Amino acid sequence: MHRLLRTLTSLAALTALGLTAGCSSDSGTERTAAGRGPASASAAAPGAFWVDPDSAAARQVEQWERQGRTKDAAVLRRISEQPLAVWPAGDDPTPDIKEATQGAAKDGRTAVLVAYNIPHRDCGQHSAGGAGSSEQYRDWLNTFADAIGDAPALVVLEPDAIPHIADGCTPAAYHDERYQLLSEAIQRLKRQPGVKVYLDAGNPGWINDAHKLTEPLRRAGVAQADGFSLNVSNFQSDETTKRYGRTLSATVDGKHFVMDTSRNGRGPLVGDRQDAWCNPPGRGLGTPPTDHTGEPLLDAVLWIKRPGDSDGPCRGGPAAGQWWPDYALGLARNAKRA
């Protein structure tokens, strides 16, 4: 059970963020004019990817500084000053994508986007939802691609969708539809000249045998993608994920991969496999995002799961995707040291 949790958007959440350091909702990529993050955020993280100056973490830093919590604010900058993926929310992904791609263009960088709206998403669990039909998904994905335009973007396509086929969680009746939609999505996104697409393939702690993903990835059209993504929203170590990626790559004609290191600095929670994915205590930030990996098959290290966004209502957390400052601060305090 390794969930990818969508960022929720609401004005009420923005208000809550200004009132409490407990569990206020992250607005994802929809912004208000007030409460901009540190002006230096985009300059703090060298590399190819865009740093959102108005992320929930950036706004939390600003709030804590106003409140005199300067030490906590300084620690939380370990999140706010790094590039984080954008998860467009709602039926219209255009505003979130435009903000990210325009901000990235201004900074001379690349936006990292997550397309997460497949029908029958997450097997009806914490991140249930998605498009109501195949046609609705096609329309949504087309809007997603149109919003990118000619901008450079790296798109992680449908976290969990393939692993949920491989583990049997998604009913067999939906498999053919899902394969078709994913294949079409890759082809549609690749029509945008600046887009790289990575089809999600779960993590090594979920589908232990990488070969079980080979046929599903092929049927979903990974041959037309730039590669696959690993460890999204999970905690597997860098080396474990790299080994798994190399093994899986060899079964899909040498495709490259990207991996999520946003919360893997201390590895997965030991001895609690069933619920280890959901707000596990004692975890830490992992290797900062970069496209200079030193690994021939590894195109980028990314923070795809936004550190501090709750995995769901477990271990005292707020709803899936909501900003949880206390958890974010714990991740930052436990950050992996170079």
Separation CA 4–CA 263 (nearest Å) = 13
Question: Is 176 a residue of the active site?
Answer: no
* Residue 311 bears catalytic tag: yes
| Residue burial 135-162, b: 16+ Cβ < 10 Å; e: rest | eebbebbeebbebbeebbbbbbbbbbbb
Q: Rounded distance, CA 199 to CA 243, Å?
A: 18
User: What is the strand order of the sheet 256-260 is part of?
Assistant: 111-115, 153-157, 195-200, 227-230, 256-260, 298-302
Which residue out of 72, 122, 200, 226 is catalytically annotated?
122
Contact assessment for residue 249 and residue 257, using Cβ atoms and an 8 Å cutoff:
yes
One-letter identity of residue 111: A
- Catalytic position from the list 26, 72, 160, 260: 160
Residues 280 and 127: their CA atoms lie apart, in Å, by 17
Out of 26, 226, 299, 311, the active site residue is: 311
Q: Which residues of 70-100 are buried (b: 16+ CB within 10 A; e: fewer)?
A: eebbebbbbbbbbbbbbbbbeeebebbbbbb
Q: How many helices (H) and strands (E) does the chain have?
A: 11, 6
List of residues 6+ apart from 287 with CB closer than 8 A: 238, 261, 264, 265, 301, 336
Q: Is 122 a known active-site residue?
A: yes
The phi and psi torsions of 141 (rounded to 5 degrees) equal -65, -35
Q: What is the H or E stretch that residue 302 is in?
A: strand 298-302
Q: Which residues are catalytic?
A: 122, 160, 311
